[in-house]
Chain A
């Protein structure tokens, strides 16, 4: 025997009109939209007349600032006609936060886009990437010479620095978080303190000890050593955080299955923390690539291509940018922006790699 229970319900006619529809919580109604765009338009009109025609003022920055403040006033007035005070405050705060977000994103975007835009003059010359500056005067046109020596120098210096600081940094992190011991607390304190070391001081330290006291020439290796001094604490601390958040239950499970400590670390802890370790390494690498203060002091700017990091000066992208900038020649500055674009591209590639690695396991960092 079957009974149909739903049929009678269907027959009830839906209530038509009349019923007061409650305002949806946090919804942006038509009224809200009108007051927002209306305020924007009216404040724009007001400021255009007042700022450009009535007052003796000019300039795009001032105009935008004035427009924004007049907008806030008008918006507050319009909203308070039909809303509670709490809602007016909420809308004003929202408007402010959107403006701040737009400002920050605009600042970042303008820095990135401006660099590429200015670097375009140098980018169109293919030789810019395949030649070095040996025998080319800084004022020579862009079709002569290039930044190959700086690209090669940056890659070699950063590769050595990462090769040195990655095992040391992760090894220290493993010592601090996995092995422990009498000294681990002190290691932690000192490593944390050394992350505060200004880069310029690391460079000066290497300059004074290796170049002035020992008498080594300015070289890529000296720059790599100074970079390692700043990178080891960064990698060690970030890796330690990545290892710390591996749940202790995993380690205990591995030990309970009879694995030795070394096996536990190698097969359980390190793989679990892989994305965190990779992020730490790549961010430290990005810092190393952009390191200006260190290469300025320790590496010496060569104009020729060299793959030998030991005996002779070695140029690098940040150093090339800085030395080209200090000449204040338009051509040299165009080259500086070309080199800056290459530098930014390298950082962007590393950055996308970081995103990819940290998203791989669905971890939102």
Chain B
């Protein structure tokens, strides 16, 4: 340490200490780093953006050729020049809605069970189970749905059509009371495909809901407990109202996944191009299964039609996912970590 001032001993050369000069601006390594990161970011932007634009551009000839009929025609008969997605759109919506109808209550209750009811010992196991459920490939759910679930599900389907067959959606065009009932009328239906797809929708929705339930303010939970509330009382008055946004957002994310699901649906359904509300009856078709089944022997114009169908699906999932993202983002205001 040098002593600077009047008291310094003679003979020591005193140099006035200038403050260290700060060098605003970037070092060479930073220039490279920023340049590289920007290049990667922009090239990913360019490529992914180009894919989106390409898909949109490819659908112009199809839409110009078929016009509005593309959305109202239900047949997919390229050799007769009858191409339309009315039936597959309805089929896609049916499968996805059945999946949501099954998975929403299960995901909600399972998430609530994990955060509020499960004994602490098994809580982390249940969290792992949800993550594992999300990681299992969809084709395995397809095999499971076809070989293990379907033989039991057709019993349920028959029971539903027996007692609720007067409702159009549960009606099946066969005699459910026959002594030897027509099993093949109940297989490969939108109902069974929806059940298999719900296995993929549950973990997505459940993971989001669980994360939001965990963020419910501890003070309010304890306050509700202190007022004599039961666990259900706490859930009803504190957790669920707090997590409303997360519940909606997680459900919509799962819906986006259910709409685009291919492999499981392709294995289970028996393809049929018909607009119908009878979800228990054999035969339906979804957009992604349509593409997977027809791309092989398609001509260029038919490929363009398939791309258009896929683009319509993309627009739907994009809308659903964007809404989900907005809802989730709003519900998590101020949840940031900082030192």
Contacts from A to B (Cβ < 8 Å): 26, 59-62, 86-87, 89-90, 93-94, 96-98, 100-101, 103-105, 107-108, 110-112, 114-115, 118, 167-168, 171-172, 174-176, 178-179, 181, 183-184, 186-187, 190-202, 204-205, 207-209, 212, 229, 232-233, 236, 245, 247-250, 260-263, 265, 283, 286-287, 289-293, 296-297, 318, 321-322, 325, 336-337, 340, 343-344, 347-348, 350-351, 354-355, 364-365
Is B37 an interface residue when CB atoms closer than 8 A count as contact?
A: yes
B residues within 8 A CB of A191?
44-45, 48
Contacts from B to A (Cβ < 8 Å): 26-27, 29-30, 32-34, 36-38, 40-45, 48-49, 51-52, 54-55, 58, 105-106, 109-110, 112-114, 117-118, 124, 126-129, 131-141, 143-144, 146-148, 152, 155-156, 159, 199, 202, 230-233, 256, 259-260, 262-263, 266-267, 288, 291-292, 295, 300, 303, 306-307, 310-311, 313-314, 317-318, 320-322, 325, 337-339
Q: Which of B26, B37, B127, B231 has the most CB of A within 10 A?
A: B37
Knowing A204-B291, A204-B307, A347-B136, the reply to whether A186 touches B314 (Cβ < 8 A) is: no
Q: Which of A104, A297, A364, A365 has the most CB of B within 10 A?
A: A104
Report which of B41, B131, B266, B339 forms a contact with A247, defined as CB distance below 8 A. B339
Contact A86 B233 (CB under 8 A): yes
Contact A344 B137 (CB under 8 A): yes
Contact B48 A198 (CB under 8 A): no
Report which of A186, A202, A248, A283 forms a contact with B45, defined as CB distance below 8 A. A186
Contact B40 A198 (CB under 8 A): no
Contact A194 B48 (CB under 8 A): yes
CB nearest to A236 among chain B residues: B44
State the total of A-B contacts with C-beta under 8 angstroms.
274
State the CA gap A40–B256 with chains docked (Å): 40
Contact A198 B41 (CB under 8 A): no
Report which of A105, A187, A192, A200 forms a contact with B292, defined as CB distance below 8 A. A200
A201: shortest Cβ distance to chain B, in Å? 4
A residues within 8 A CB of B109?
96-97, 100-101
State the CA gap A118–B147 with chains docked (Å): 10
State the CA gap A306–B118 with chains docked (Å): 49
State the CA gap A185–B228 with chains docked (Å): 48
Report which of B114, B129, B152 forms a contact with A108, defined as CB distance below 8 A. B129
Label chain B's interface by main secondary structure.
helix
Report which of B41, B127, B233 forms a contact with A171, defined as CB distance below 8 A. B41
Contact A97 B41 (CB under 8 A): no
A residues within 8 A CB of B267?
322, 325
Knowing A174-B37, A179-B34, the reply to whether A90 touches B143 (Cβ < 8 A) is: no
Contact B54 A209 (CB under 8 A): yes
State the CA gap A248–B30 with chains docked (Å): 19
CB nearest to A265 among chain B residues: B33
Contact A293 B314 (CB under 8 A): no
State the CA gap A229–B230 with chains docked (Å): 49
Contact A62 B155 (CB under 8 A): yes
Contact B141 A111 (CB under 8 A): yes
Contact B37 A168 (CB under 8 A): no
A residues within 8 A CB of B48?
190-191, 194, 229, 232-233
CB nearest to A286 among chain B residues: B135
Contact A98 B29 (CB under 8 A): no
State the CA gap A260–B30 with chains docked (Å): 7
A165: shortest Cβ distance to chain B, in Å? 10
State the CA gap A260–B26 with chains docked (Å): 8
Report which of A186, A200, A208 forms a contact with B288, defined as CB distance below 8 A. A200
Contact B33 A107 (CB under 8 A): no
Knowing A89-B232, A167-B40, the reply to whether A193 touches B322 (Cβ < 8 A) is: yes
Knowing A187-B45, A193-B318, the reply to whether A212 touches B303 (Cβ < 8 A) is: yes
CB nearest to A261 among chain B residues: B30
Further pairs besides A108-B199, A172-B44, A351-B131: 11, Cβ < 8 Å:
A100-B105, A103-B106, A104-B202, A194-B48, A204-B307, A232-B44, A233-B48, A297-B291, A297-B292, A325-B143, A340-B139
B290: shortest Cβ distance to chain A, in Å? 9
CB nearest to A348 among chain B residues: B132
Knowing A87-B230, A172-B40, A207-B295, the reply to whether A196 touches B318 (Cβ < 8 A) is: yes
Q: Which of B29, B139, B263 has the most CB of A within 10 A?
A: B139
Contact A61 B152 (CB under 8 A): yes
State the CA gap A111–B138 with chains docked (Å): 11
Q: Which of B43, B51, B311 has the most CB of A within 10 A?
A: B51
Report which of A101, A196, A293 forms a contact with B113, defined as CB distance below 8 A. A101
Contact B129 A179 (CB under 8 A): no
Contact A198 B303 (CB under 8 A): no
State the CA gap A287–B204 with chains docked (Å): 13
B residues within 8 A CB of A61?
152, 155-156
CB nearest to B110 among chain A residues: A104
B residues within 8 A CB of A348?
132
A78: shortest Cβ distance to chain B, in Å? 18
State the CA gap A90–B129 with chains docked (Å): 25
CB nearest to A263 among chain B residues: B29
B residues within 8 A CB of A94?
117, 231-232
Contact A105 B138 (CB under 8 A): no
Contact B133 A201 (CB under 8 A): no
State the CA gap A167–B37 with chains docked (Å): 10
A residues within 8 A CB of B256?
196
State the CA gap A347–B134 with chains docked (Å): 11
